Structure 1
Amino acid sequence: MPQPEKELNPDASPPEWFGAELRYWRKRQPGLTAAQLGPMVQVSPSVISKIEKGVYRCSRDLAERLDVVLGTGGVLFRAWGMVFGDADKKRDDADSARRRPAEGAIQVPQGRMLDRETSAQLPGSLSSVDRRAFLAATSLGAIAPIDLAHLVAPTAPPELPKRIRPTELEQLRHIADGIHRWDNAQGGGGLVGDFASRSMEWAVRLLSIDCPARLRSELLAGVARLGIVAGATHFDAYAHDEARIAFKIASECAEEAGDWWLRAQTFSFLARQAIWIGDPDEGLTYAEKGLVRSDRLTPTIQATLHSARARAFGKMHDVQGTLAAVGAADDVFAHSNPTEDPAWMHYYDEAQHHGDTAHALWDLAIHADQDPGRAAERFATAVAGHGDNYARSRGISATKLASLVMAKGDPTQAIAIGHQALNDVGRLTSRRAVDDLKELRRFAGHHRKLDEAAHLRQRITTTLQA
């Protein structure tokens, strides 16, 4: 028998009041548990329970997703601004401007709701129901200009079909392809990431819909594919928790569908994310898991996993392990045949392969005093081979090449390459690309006597501030 949920005290503190509001709206969805709600908004089930108890700080983006899933009309997002907004130091100036009431506006005093010192409710103070009505009816609109975005934003999640049809499977494919294109051309931030989140929430809901047995595997594969591209988008924007959840959902769906190709691709991305955030050992483990039953994988898919292994060894500064993994990746990629690969693997072409393996060799050149020429040659091949549809990959490879040459070669040549990279990276919304630019700026700082290096550093700074 399930344990009864803990009774909440909404007057104890602002976070606990927010948690009580979340539970109120969740309970309006009959039978919806905190454990079920978590995956629907791309967080772990325990996070919802902790927010409801007031012991976990809800993020701004999560509040927006909860509004969409629970159909609150934006109540939780507006409540988030009142409860947590003041703690966001980055918005202090903007918050101060918003808090100055416009002429003729209603002035709302800070009442006991925002007082952390006592849980007692003063006579005449707003009850939870009154607060909810205030948020739903007037809220910040009383003291700030009307936000037109709320007038056009959906107040409820998209209506779901009563039964899965081929139409939904086609939509899954088109959405995944679209996110993949936008992510590679523009980066994973901004609208691309937001659309990926909303699409993933819709896809996860599809899993609970009645589905004919003949379509079940295809549905699972479709959600897995979308989970991979959504996770990759969040990874690029450094929304790592969201990325990890999307990848895990993709992995489970691929396993249940019996799709070894999608399973391997999921582990490839989990490996890359772990390596990027500083855990190459975990990344190596993921890559090895992806290579289980490699006889069932195409050479191209095998190459992605061996490239991930190489990047893990590179971060560990393991020269022999890196070179062996790069060699293994090259060997299997030499047998790559696009006609044998699923359509979603076509991005992994010669340019992508050279860029991926070059990253591993870059670490050896910078940190293990190995020949920089091997990495430089591969990065140059990647830059030349990537078209505008893969502007992010081209920009990142060019940035890493510029850093490598700046550190180990001719700084004048590196400066020219760096300016070329900025032409791509300056248009992206990619946190990974931003970090690589900061790295290039540090390397350029080693050549302070060169006016051209100072100019490149200034251009990088201007680009990062734009």
Structure 2
Amino acid sequence: MSVGMSRAADPVDPGWAEFGRLLRFHRRRAGLTQLQLGSRVGYHHTFISRLEGGLREPPYDLVNRLDAVLGTGGRLAALVASPPASPCAPGLPPASPTLFAPIPGTDAPGDPASLTAQPWPVRLPAEGLACPLHGRVGCATPDREAVTDLLAGLTGPYDRVGDTAGAEAELLHGLTAVLACLIRETSGRATDAGAGTVERLLRGVVRWAEADNAAGRLPYGQLRLAAQYAQVAGRLRMERGQSGVAMAWFGHGLRWADAAQDAEARATLLSDMSTLVRLDGDPASMLVYAQAIGAVDVRRRWMVMLSGLYQARAYALSHDVAACRRHLSTARRRFARLDDRDRLEAPWLSGAEGVLRVESAVGGALRDLSVVTGDRAVARRAVEATARSYALLPPVMRSTRLLLTLRLADSWACAGDPVAAVTLAGPVLDEALGARELTVADELRGLHRRLAGRWRDLPEVREYRERVRAVSE
């Protein structure tokens, strides 16, 4: 069957056909292409095309963003039929039919959610996680023992989820503290147990939010917390190479962040989605997600700066040298101009940690650019940026240290110094080959290709390749 015949066979709901016609009218009136509109609302342009063709039901949270971006005065939302009537708290739109759609995994009722032994945070924010109810005002967290009792109502028999309403703030504070501990525990070692605990608690939070929503209570805090948990769950799955489940968690997190109007969570989730499609070898989709980061809120400089860094790497992979260099230069200037509000909303971009993250991103983009251009001068700039990032790494970030070691070695290979590359990679080779992290495996594959492609007969490279074979066997 041809592609054209397949599309012709798709059913067109008359209601969605009318929505598609109105969407197309306002998009054209705004002077936007489907690609441009998709990047601004965080969806691929092919999805926008199917919406305009009446072939897909629009998610409710997307309709609101389309109205805002296109300046329709709410006409698209007015056209969309609301979900079945149920009491709904003021300030939150009626729940989209997909807001509480089936999520990955299942639980056995009564299975305990064991708490991590990591040091317990006394106050929020912790590990960059703000209170889902009160932001960054400095909320106190309940004792670890008290949280253990509260979790019994969240992850125990499902009909007890609603009993947590009276202790909402206490439970939300406790669950945020638990997630901070889990982030520390899984940093550099994405274990099955850690991922399982994150996802089990996340499913409990979603059940709680759904129950409150059905009862007419506003599940604002639960949805914000669910978005935070979904991001961590997605990252853990991504690091283990489970791209499909990772993208599912990121997608759910994005919907929950939208429903709770959490722009910060939306921007960071789009960043992770951009990374995931890059690892899957899709620079075009990476660029779409990267552009969507900056479109979340153009007034927030850290979001626009972050968007530029991700766009630079997407352009490097797409062989657009001029665009890559332009975005790197602009991103570095914007990073230098971040203000107190930016650092409050994105504390991981403050101080040495911020420099570490930016220089790591710059080094990755420059290394990718040197691969596609063969420009050794660009590769030497990648060495400099990656070395600056590496020098700022705290000892506990073992996985990041391994990743940057391999990237630095690969940058030296691209710069024409294979001996420096194998000298750097040699001491960590066994650890890298045994690592489960997808990002580490991606860096290692690139280094192998560079060494084997041009210097395979060099004695040092032959010895390195023999070690790889020996360990792999």
TM-score (norm 2): 0.61
Q: Tell me which amino acid in the other structure corresponds to 1:397.
A: L
Contact 2:238 2:246 in 1 (8 A): yes
Using the alignment, how far apart are the partners of 1:338 and 1:183 within structure 2?
29
Partner of 1:437: 444
Distance change in 2, residues 1:267/1:448 (3 Å):
closer
Which of 407, 413, 416 is equivalent to 1:406?
413
Once the two structures are TM-superposed, the CA of residue 454 in structure 1 deviates from its matched residue by: 3.4
Partner of 1:20: none
Write out per-residue CA displacement over residues 155-197 of structure 1, whole angstroms, 9 at most, x where no aligned residue: x9534352331133123312332343344322x3533333333
Distance change in 2, residues 1:397/1:191 (3 Å):
same
Using the alignment, how far apart are the partners of 1:207 and 1:464 within structure 2?
46
Unaligned 5+ residue runs, structure 2? 1-96, 112-151
Distance change in 2, residues 1:461/1:217 (3 Å):
farther
Partner of 2:163: 162
Write out per-residue CA displacement over residues 52-87 of structure 1, whole angstroms, 9 at most, x where no aligned residue: xxxxxxxxxxxxx43x25789xxxxxxxxxxxxxxx
Structure 1 residue 255 corresponds to structure 2 residue 258 = yes
Structure 1 residue 283 corresponds to structure 2 residue 281 = no
Contact 1:189 1:430 in 2 (8 A): no
Using the alignment, how far apart are the partners of 2:449 and 2:279 within structure 1?
19
Q: 1:144-159 counterparts in 2 under 5 A? A: 158-159=156-157
- The farther-off stretch of 204-213 and 169-178 is 204-213
Contact 1:193 1:237 in 2 (8 A): no
Q: Tell me which amino acid in the other structure corresponds to 1:431.
A: L
Using the alignment, how far apart are the partners of 1:181 and 1:307 within structure 2?
25
Structure 1 residue 447 corresponds to structure 2 residue 452 = no
Once the two structures are TM-superposed, the CA of residue 276 in structure 1 deviates from its matched residue by: 1.9
Partner of 2:367: 362
Unaligned 5+ residue runs, structure 1? 1-34, 43-64, 73-153
Secondary structure, in 3 states, of the residue corresponding to 1:238?
coil
Bigger Rg, which one? 1
Which of 221, 230, 239 is equivalent to 1:218?
221
Using the alignment, how far apart are the partners of 1:412 and 1:342 within structure 2?
43
Structure 1 residue 393 corresponds to structure 2 residue 400 = yes
Distance change in 2, residues 1:331/1:230 (3 Å):
same
Once the two structures are TM-superposed, the CA of residue 274 in structure 1 deviates from its matched residue by: 1.6
Using the alignment, how far apart are the partners of 2:221 and 2:208 within structure 1?
12
Once the two structures are TM-superposed, the CA of residue 263 in structure 1 deviates from its matched residue by: 1.2
Q: 1:121-200 counterparts in 2 under 5 A? A: 158-159=156-157, 160-164=161-165, 165-186=168-189, 188=190, 190-200=192-202
Using the alignment, how far apart are the partners of 1:427 and 1:342 within structure 2?
38
Secondary structure, in 3 states, of the residue corresponding to 1:389?
coil
Partner of 1:352: 357
Once the two structures are TM-superposed, the CA of residue 320 in structure 1 deviates from its matched residue by: 0.8
Secondary structure, in 3 states, of the residue corresponding to 2:281?
coil
Partner of 1:207: 209
- The farther-off stretch of 387-396 and 175-184 is 175-184
Using the alignment, how far apart are the partners of 1:263 and 1:230 within structure 2?
15
Which of 413, 437, 456 is equivalent to 2:464?
456
Q: Tell me which amino acid in the other structure corresponds to 2:371.
A: I
Contact 1:224 1:262 in 2 (8 A): yes
Q: 1:294-333 counterparts in 2 under 5 A? A: 294-297=297-300, 299-333=301-335
Distance change in 2, residues 1:189/1:436 (3 Å):
farther
Distance change in 2, residues 1:39/1:413 (3 Å):
same
Once the two structures are TM-superposed, the CA of residue 208 in structure 1 deviates from its matched residue by: 1.4
Contact 1:396 1:421 in 2 (8 A): no
Once the two structures are TM-superposed, the CA of residue 267 in structure 1 deviates from its matched residue by: 1.3
Using the alignment, how far apart are the partners of 2:347 and 2:173 within structure 1?
18
Using the alignment, how far apart are the partners of 1:195 and 1:459 within structure 2?
37
Using the alignment, how far apart are the partners of 2:341 and 2:430 within structure 1?
34
- The farther-off stretch of 413-422 and 276-285 is 413-422
Once the two structures are TM-superposed, the CA of residue 381 in structure 1 deviates from its matched residue by: 1.2
Partner of 1:120: none
Using the alignment, how far apart are the partners of 2:98 and 2:260 within structure 1?
21
Secondary structure, in 3 states, of the residue corresponding to 1:387?
coil
Partner of 1:106: none
Contact 2:360 2:389 in 1 (8 A): yes
Using the alignment, how far apart are the partners of 1:389 and 1:236 within structure 2?
17
Once the two structures are TM-superposed, the CA of residue 393 in structure 1 deviates from its matched residue by: 2.1
Secondary structure, in 3 states, of the residue corresponding to 2:398?
helix
Once the two structures are TM-superposed, the CA of residue 390 in structure 1 deviates from its matched residue by: 2.4
Q: 1:102-121 counterparts in 2 under 5 A? A: none
Using the alignment, how far apart are the partners of 2:195 and 2:465 within structure 1?
29
Using the alignment, how far apart are the partners of 1:172 and 1:426 within structure 2?
35
Distance change in 2, residues 1:265/1:402 (3 Å):
same
Using the alignment, how far apart are the partners of 1:397 and 1:238 within structure 2?
19
Q: Tell me which amino acid in the other structure corresponds to 2:174.
A: Q
Partner of 1:83: none
TM-score (norm 1): 0.62
Using the alignment, how far apart are the partners of 1:259 and 1:395 within structure 2?
33
Runs of 4+ in 1 over 6 A off after TM superposition: 35-38, 211-215
Distance change in 2, residues 1:232/1:344 (3 Å):
farther
Secondary structure, in 3 states, of the residue corresponding to 2:163?
coil
Using the alignment, how far apart are the partners of 1:385 and 1:307 within structure 2?
19
Contact 1:270 1:286 in 2 (8 A): yes
Secondary structure, in 3 states, of the residue corresponding to 2:211?
coil
Contact 1:260 1:296 in 2 (8 A): no
Partner of 2:423: 416
Q: Tell me which amino acid in the other structure corresponds to 2:156.
A: P
Distance change in 2, residues 1:378/1:37 (3 Å):
closer
Once the two structures are TM-superposed, the CA of residue 251 in structure 1 deviates from its matched residue by: 1.0
Distance change in 2, residues 1:190/1:372 (3 Å):
same
After superposition, the CA RMSD in angstroms is: 3.3
Once the two structures are TM-superposed, the CA of residue 213 in structure 1 deviates from its matched residue by: 8.8
Distance change in 2, residues 1:162/1:311 (3 Å):
same
Partner of 1:384: 391
